[in-house]
Structure 1
Amino acid sequence: MTDLEQSRLLKTEIPGPRSIELGRRKTAAVSHGIGTTMPVYCTRAAGGIIEDVDGNRLIDLGSGIAVTTIGSSSPRVVDAVRDQVGDFTHTCFMVTPYEEYVAVAEHLNRLTPGSGEKRSVLFNSGAEAVENAIKIARSYTGKQAVVAFDHAYHGRTNLTMALTAKSMPYKSGFGPFAPEVYRAPLSYPYRDGLVDKEMGTNGELAAERALSVIDKQIGAANLAAIIIEPIQGEGGFIVPAPGFLPELLRWCRDNNVVFIADEVQTGFARTGAMFACEHEGIEPDLIVTAKGIAGGLPLSAVTGRAEIVDAPHVSGLGGTYGGNPIACAAALATIETIELGGLVERAQQIEKLMKDRLGRLQADDDRIGDVRGRGAMIAVELVKSGTAEPDADLTKRLTAAAHAAGVVVLTCGTYGNVLRFLPPLAISDDLLTEGLDVLAQALSDL
């Protein structure tokens, strides 16, 4: 870790003058299709703090959207990357391979749920890995159709936009999309429970609803894969009711359908387990990982049952940069940091601290409709007082107030009314508590 002081400090208003000037340069030079959550420009980051170009120190409750899980500029990652850059930066694994790629695959095969023989293949981004998981499933089954779920987010490439549920800002105006993609109802305990209490708590019942749609509208004979986030990310940090995922997996095994778990946001200790599937005791056929895999460097993977991952013909999978040696070195250091640093247990501690505090807030303020999530992946769903109607405006104003006070928070959800928290596991309890204090004060002021 750098010597960056782990305390919040506001030297200027947010944004400060140097960030404003950089914002002008961005407007002139960068596509207007790129949005930013906060108009501040980072110069250093470590632990639970981001420092901007004006010297402001912000509490980081976003981790670069769940990427810097072990903290930005984590010492082992910094050292591993420096060493690898000195050795070589690229050869392309498909031309002259190298040990670092193989070692990452070995670790993924060891760490992911499932005791049978496994294989892994490496890529650059979550979306790229999702697309390749679909390719693998189609190759293995000889079938084409794919089912994703309500509120799902799987990426911004053409196929992954088709899998993603939300139109704005991810899909609008970018079609036509890849064919043979279908959608089924998710288990959404908070909203399901408003209509049917049993549906809100009984995951098997919610799975029956989804499988009925799948049977009627697609049919198992045509279906290559079901893809699902064990805890939804952009969709609102929705944790399905217990039994939902196991029932879907059972049906897939009975019908020669590949079960793909998209653990891009939930993987690598984020949820208080190495992978979120472990909370439900399931062993997916394929697991897609990215984000927290390499301490901030671009890397992703598909890992799964050997017979499935080996199904594509030789050279059917790959890519010029997939499994870049620098990213692989960072991944090996990240995995070592998680395991030696007890970061799975740290995520569990963060969950307890956050849920205790947010639960007390919810008891005093009926605008907090739901508090949910696991580990260091926690969300509050905001509603209009006395109702369950989503309040996107309150969410926007609360986020703006937190940002102005020097706390980085993110929003999500189909209805734009979910505040999501993804603190780095390296954050201190004091910083985390202070960030929640700022949020509570802002909510009270509003």
Structure 2
Amino acid sequence: MTAPARPSAASRNGSPQDSATRSSAELIRAEAPVLAHNYHPLPVVVARAEGVWVEDVEGRRYLDMLAGYSALNFGHRHPALIEAAHRQLDQVTLTSRAFHHDRLAGFAEELAALTGLDMVLPMNTGAEAVESGIKVARKWAYDVKGVAPDQATIVVAADNFHGRTTTLVSFSTDPTARAGYGPYTPGFRVVPYNDLAALEAAVDETTAAVLIEPIQGEAGVVIPDDGYLTGVRELTRRAGCLFIADEIQSGLGRTGRTLAVEHESVVPDVLLLGKALGGGIVPVSAVVARREVLEVLHPGEHGSTFGGNPLAAAVGSAVIGLLSTGEFQRRAAELGEVLRTGLDGLVGKGVTGFRARGLWAGADVDPALGTGREISERLLREGVLVKDTHGSTIRLAPPLTITEDELSASIDALGRVLND
């Protein structure tokens, strides 16, 4: 695989010695005594990045096929997003919500228009968006639906991933994410994903909402059967509860549509967004919902010092501007066919199966050839960055700016590490 020409030292930020004072190995060793060991990164130390390529401190270049778990849908340092951030840095970056600022109204108007919903609650991280969505759903259940105080329930799907807070891991079925963090937050009912009968059996008069990922990312890019999302929408409407779609990973162009729910022409009551909304520059998330839902919040009942800050709003508006053209959704759909065709050619040649939608795939590797971690490390040596999940599954989620040649090269590299 041929990488673009490496930028000259003069074109980089800082002198070339800035990141060369310690080697990758030295920097990795230096982390161990001072950083909590809550991650197990691949042994690469990124110092610079542009587009779909990253460069380590020694100058080795890698094709990024993870894109920050979809936070980098538009690639590293997209010029339009960098320009928006620089322009806002020269104006104002933070006011807190104690005051109004000149970027917030436009951001909220644009995001509501993009999603087809009414109102926006700006937050920062994806977990904050989910936590906020849960709070809003419970408040709606008490104020609008008339559920008895402290009796509201939310139905969720097994194998979900919605974040790492104590409430969110309370309804995780992943022992690694959940174990050791009790006592757990009550009020959740877990049913199998992609099972409408089980979902209907779990919904009753106490149900505030059904919270699901339209595509389960951490579980290995698990795509439900056609009609499942439509069924969830119809069921929640009949039951008089909210449909909350967590599109923090699946949304904003990743699957070939602006939102993954659009593949079934479904409009949820509440939409949770994050990751790509910040363009890989700042953390930006949001709860976007029908007016009736978000109007249950009143001053003092919920907030965030940094939520909707001017820098976040400026970058978020620039992201929406990129999506408003439809270019990135089309690229994800068209290149998604290249990804699917490439993976299909590897089935029986090291890949036992895969699931793909747009530029997002989970590929199951024959365990006899190695774990997902081991395959990821072999791809690292080939100059391709991916990340494993759940044993022998690897995730492929490149920036939507990737070229067909770059995408094909990454699939060829996977074929080599599985068959050499």
Q: TM-score, normalised by structure 2?
A: 0.90
1:141 is matched by which residue type in structure 2? A
Matching of residue 74 in structure 1 with residue 82 in structure 2? no
Q: Distance in 2 between matches of 1:235 and 1:36?
A: 18
Deviation at 1:243, TM superposition (A): 1.0
Deviation at 1:285, TM superposition (A): 0.4
Task: State the SS of the aligned residue for 1:316.
Answer: coil
Residue 129 of structure 1 corresponds to 129
Deviation at 1:331, TM superposition (A): 1.2
Change (3 A) 1:163 1:373: farther
Matching of residue 155 in structure 1 with residue 163 in structure 2? yes
Residue 210 of structure 1 corresponds to 199
Q: Summarize deviations over 1:120-149 as a string: whole Å, max 9, x none.
A: 110011110101111111111114211110
Matching of residue 110 in structure 1 with residue 113 in structure 2? yes
Deviation at 1:315, TM superposition (A): 2.5
Residue 233 of structure 1 corresponds to 217
Higher mean C-alpha deviation, range 140-149 or range 122-131: 140-149
Higher mean C-alpha deviation, range 399-408 or range 301-310: 399-408
Deviation at 1:31, TM superposition (A): 1.6
Matching of residue 435 in structure 1 with residue 410 in structure 2? yes
The answer to whether the 8 A contact 1:140-1:308 is kept is yes
Change (3 A) 1:36 1:101: farther
The answer to whether the 8 A contact 1:122-1:302 is kept is yes
Change (3 A) 1:384 1:78: closer
The answer to whether the 8 A contact 2:137-2:293 is kept is yes
The answer to whether the 8 A contact 1:153-1:163 is kept is no
Change (3 A) 1:397 1:32: closer
Residue 194 of structure 1 corresponds to none
Matching of residue 57 in structure 1 with residue 61 in structure 2? yes
Gaps of 5+ in 2: 8-20
Residue 245 of structure 1 corresponds to 229
Residue 310 of structure 1 corresponds to 295
The answer to whether the 8 A contact 1:48-1:428 is kept is no
Task: State the SS of the aligned residue for 1:59.
Answer: strand
Q: Summarize deviations over 1:158-210 as a string: whole Å, max 9, x none.
A: 11112332121x222122221111200112xxxxxxxxxxxxxxxxxx31233
Residue 403 of structure 1 corresponds to 380
Deviation at 1:111, TM superposition (A): 1.2
Deviation at 1:239, TM superposition (A): 0.5
Matching of residue 382 in structure 1 with residue 382 in structure 2? no
Task: State the SS of the aligned residue for 1:28.
Answer: coil
Task: State the SS of the aligned residue for 1:209.
Answer: helix
Instruction: Count matched residues.
Output: 396
The answer to whether the 8 A contact 1:145-1:182 is kept is yes
The answer to whether the 8 A contact 2:372-2:389 is kept is no
The answer to whether the 8 A contact 1:270-1:375 is kept is yes
2:99 is matched by which residue type in structure 1? T
Cα RMSD of the aligned pairs, angstroms, is 2.0
Q: Summarize deviations over 1:24-73 as a string: whole Å, max 9, x none.
A: 2211221223x243222211111110111110100100001110100110
Residue 18 of structure 2 corresponds to none
Change (3 A) 1:162 1:171: same
Matching of residue 22 in structure 1 with residue 24 in structure 2? no
Q: Summarize deviations over 1:224-283 as a string: whole Å, max 9, x none.
A: 111000001101110000111111111111112111000000111011000000001111
Deviation at 1:371, TM superposition (A): 1.9
Q: TM-score, normalised by structure 1?
A: 0.85
Change (3 A) 1:329 1:257: same
Deviation at 1:422, TM superposition (A): 0.7
2:27 is matched by which residue type in structure 1? L
2:122 is matched by which residue type in structure 1? L
